[in-house]
Amino acid sequence: MTEISAEGTWHLVMDTPIGEQRAVLELSIQDGASASNVTGHRAAPGSPGAGS
C-alpha cells in the first residue's frame, strides 16, 4: 500500500449556486496527530459579512 500525504496549504475554489466561494485549508501533523485550519468567507456575496 502506498502512503500519500495531504499535508500543506490548499487553496479551494468552489462554484456554487450563490457564486464562487474561496477558502484556504491548512493540513499538518503536530505531535503525531493531525491538525487543520480553514479560513475564508462564510457568507453569500452582497450579504452582511461577505466582504468585498
Comparing 51 with 37, which gets the higher pLDDT? 37
Classify burial at 25, counting beta carbons within 10 Å of its beta carbon; exposed 0-12, middle 13-18, buried 19 or more: middle
- Round to whole Å and give the CA distance between 45 and 18: 7
> Residue 51: is its pLDDT beyond 60?
no
According to the model, what pLDDT value does residue 52 have? Answer: 47
- Round to whole Å and give the CA distance between 34 and 36: 7
Render pLDDT for 14-43 as a digit per residue (tens, 0 to 9). 898 988 888 888 888 878 788 877 777 665
According to the model, what pLDDT value does residue 48 have? Answer: 56
pTM: 0.58
Q: Which residue has the cell 453569500?
A: 44
> Residue 46: is its pLDDT beyond 70?
no
Domain boundaries, the chain: 8-39
